[in-house]
Amino acid sequence: MASKIKVAVIGVGVMGANHARVYSEMPEVELVGVFDEDSKRARAIADLNKCRMFSGLEECLQSGVEAVTVAVPSSLHKEIVVQSLRRGIHTLVEKPIAGTLEDADCILETARTSGAKLMVGHIERFNPVVQALKAMFKKGDIISINIVRVGPLPPRIKDVGVIIDLGVHDIDLVRYLTQDDIEDVYCVKSSNVVKFEDTASLMLRMKGGGSAQITTNWITPFKAREIQVIAKDKFVRGNLLTQHVQEFGRFSAEDQSYMVRDVYVKQEEPLRKELEAFANSIRNNLIPPITGLDGYEALKTAVHATLKK
């Protein structure tokens, strides 16, 4: 049996804590320890997952771990990810890849020269709803995509606005599902309760001729995560929270009807599938399923959207 992959989690806020939990349950992984600037929080997560609490970043990176998750605020991504990659440590960085395009460039260059694997945590690609949609369409099928991702303001986000925090998820999904690059982005946004934009409507034009609309905000008092895909022969609607998908057939003008069917979706935790994919890329020396370039392209469109007047 191959030895377990030794991993650590850097940053154990809500998302990092979930990474630690899932790693601790994976048979092919050994969660060596966790690090966070909040030592009280780090101790609680370490005790919960029966692993070590590192007293500093350097101690973590020198501990012999083969891989890390970096789940700190995006403005700190470059500093930590570059250090990790330079030591040859395979790195999964939570989305967005970085806080700025300049930082992302530095991360990509370090990944290229270090030989260590870099994966960006665009977790929604592993949502069973997205996987079901991916299987239903081939390149060129999709005419338009409409995504709504809204909810209350998260207290953890202090260094970016809603476009880079939430909208970047859906920018990546549009590229993933259409298998096409984004040619242009139009954006209407506003700031209401924080200094960054907290509500935004994006329209994306794809190089292949398709389009996408993304509605996102931190104003809605409840979470909603819905996606609609329009193709020539069908309309598909998915709920990313309930993991439910419906397909609507072409409308018949003759009898004013259309067919509706529920699409089978196997209920799975997207984070577990993401971390399994990361571990598999290390174990079998594969290109990670979400590359640094994928993360860069999503961030690039998000940044361009924030700059639109």
- The string of DSSP letters for 165-219 reads IIIHHHHHHHHHHHT--EEEEEEEEE-SSSSS--EEEEEEEETTS-EEEEEEES-
* 145 and 70 both lie in a single domain: no
Contact 132/263 with Cβ under 8 angstroms?
yes
* 117 and 210 both lie in a single domain: no
Task: Give domain status of residue 296, yes or no.
Answer: no
Q: Which two tokens mark 99?
A: 């806080």
Q: Which residues of the chain have pLDDT under 50?
A: none
Give the whole-angstrom CA distance, residue 192 versus residue 223: 18
Task: Give domain status of residue 295, yes or no.
Answer: no
* 97 and 163 both lie in a single domain: no
* 232 and 167 both lie in a single domain: yes
* 76 and 116 both lie in a single domain: yes
State residue 251's pLDDT score: 67
pLDDT in tens, 183-200: 999 999 999 988 899 999
* 150 and 255 both lie in a single domain: yes
DSSP 2: P
Task: Give domain status of residue 80, yes or no.
Answer: yes
Q: Could you give the residue ranges of the DSSP H alpha helices within the chain?
A: 14-25, 39-49, 57-61, 77-86, 101-114, 128-136, 162, 168-178, 270-283, 292-307
Residues in the chain, total: 309
Q: Total domain count for the chain?
A: 2
Q: Which two tokens mark 167?
A: 């909208």
* 134 and 99 both lie in a single domain: no
Contact 118/304 with Cβ under 8 angstroms?
no
* 80 and 138 both lie in a single domain: no
* CB under 8 A, 24+ apart: contacts of 109-114: 110/81, 110/82, 110/85, 110/86, 111/85, 111/292, 114/85, 114/86, 114/88
State residue 157's pLDDT score: 65
Q: Which domain holds residue 91?
A: 5-123+271-290
State residue 259's pLDDT score: 84
Task: Give domain status of residue 159, yes or no.
Answer: yes
* 104 and 174 both lie in a single domain: no
* 78 and 129 both lie in a single domain: no
* 134 and 223 both lie in a single domain: yes
> What are residue 242's phi and psi, to 5 degrees?
-85, -10
